[in-house]
Amino acid sequence: MTAATHTRERSPGERRLDRALVLATRVSAGAVWGVLFLMTVIIVYTALPAIREFGLGFLASTAWNPAAGREVYGALPMIYGTVVSSTIALLIAVPLGLGSAIFLNEDFLPERIRYVLISLIELLAAIPSVIYGLWGIFVVIPILKDVGNWLHLNLGFIPLFGTASVGPGMLPAAVVLSIMILPITTSLSRSSLAAVPPDLREAALGLGATRWEAVFRVLVPAAFSGIAGGVLLALGRAMGETMATTMIIGNSNELSFSLLAPGNTLASLIANQFGEATGLQVSSLMYAALVLMFMTVLVNILAQMIVKSVRLRNQ
C-alpha cells in the first residue's frame, strides 16, 4: 500500500458518534454549573421566609429563639464564631505550616525521610473531620480545660479569658481546626516552594546570600501567590468545617468574647439544629447556610484570583 495522501472520509455513523461524544462532554461540564446554580437557587428559595421576616437584620441580631409563637432568629453570634475560630486557626496553622514547608523543601533531612514526611502530611489532610472531632472530645478538651482555667485565673482581666472553662468552647474548637488545616497549609506551601525554579536559589546563593536569606528574599516571594492561595483555601476549609467544630465548640448561641466560653459557628449551628427544626427555623437555618456559602465562596474566588493574577504576571 502506498502512503495515504488523503485523509479518510468519516462515515456518517462515526460522525454521529463524534457529535454525541462532544455533546455528552459539554452537558457534563455544564452540569457543574448546573449543580452550583441549582444549589444557590434552592437554598435561597428555602431561606426566603426567613429573608422576608428578618431581612439583613438577621446578620446583626444576637437573638436565637425557636420557642413557638415568639420565634426570633439572628446569626451574629455564629458569624462571629465562624470568623473568630477560623482566624485563630489560621494564626496557629500558617506559621507552623509555612515553617514546616520550608524545612521540608530544604535539604536538611535525607531525601527518603522527607518523602515519607511529605506523604504522611498529605495523608493527614485526608482524615475525616469527624475523627478530629472524636479525638478532640477525648484528648484536646480535657487538656485545654486545665490550660483554660489557668488562663482565666491568671489573665482573667482580659475579656478573651473572662470566663472559666467548662470544657467545650471556642478555644478547643480553634485549636482542633488549626490541627486540621495544618496538613493542607503545609502541603500547598511546600508544593509552591518546590515549583520555584532552582536557578533563582542558585543565583541568590551565588550573589553571597546565606541559605535563609535566599529563602526569605527569593524563594518565599517567588512562591507567594501559591502560598497565599493555599492559606485562603485553608481559611475556606476552616470556615465551612462542620463536624469537628460541632463536636467541640459547645453549641451555645450566646455571643461571648471569652475564648473559653462555648460558642457556635454557622456550620455547627446548622448541623446541631437542622435535624429538629420546623417552619421558620428551617428557613432561618437555610439563611445561615446562605451566609456561610457566601463567605466561603468569596474566600475561594479570592484565592483563585490571587493564584491567577500572579500566574499572568509571571508569564
Q: Which of residues 80-119 bind other proteins (CB under 8 A)?
A: 95-100, 102-104, 106, 108, 117, 119
The closest of 241, 231, 265, 232 to 251, measured between CA atoms, is: 265
152 or 182: CB nearest other proteins: 182
By CB under 8 A, is residue 195 in contact with other proteins? no
By CB under 8 A, is residue 229 in contact with other proteins? no
CB-CB neighbours of 122 under 10 Å:
15
Q: Which of residues 137-176 bind other proteins (CB under 8 A)?
A: 137-139
CB-CB neighbours of 145 under 10 Å:
19
By CB under 8 A, is residue 184 in contact with other proteins? no
30 or 206: CB nearest other proteins: 30
Q: Which three cell numbers stand for residue 293?
A: 456559602
- Rounded Cα distance, 145 and 171, in Å: 9
CB-CB neighbours of 291 under 10 Å:
18
By CB under 8 A, is residue 24 in contact with other proteins? yes
Reported as type and span, the H/E element at residue 64 is: strand 64-65
By CB under 8 A, is residue 196 in contact with other proteins? no
Least gap, CB of 120 to other proteins (angstroms): 8
Least gap, CB of 176 to other proteins (angstroms): 9
Least gap, CB of 244 to other proteins (angstroms): 10
Sole binder of other proteins in the list 165, 192, 264, 296 (CB under 8 A): 296
Reported as type and span, the H/E element at residue 209 is: none
Least gap, CB of 157 to other proteins (angstroms): 29
Angle at 195 between CA 181 and CA 222, to 5 degrees: 90
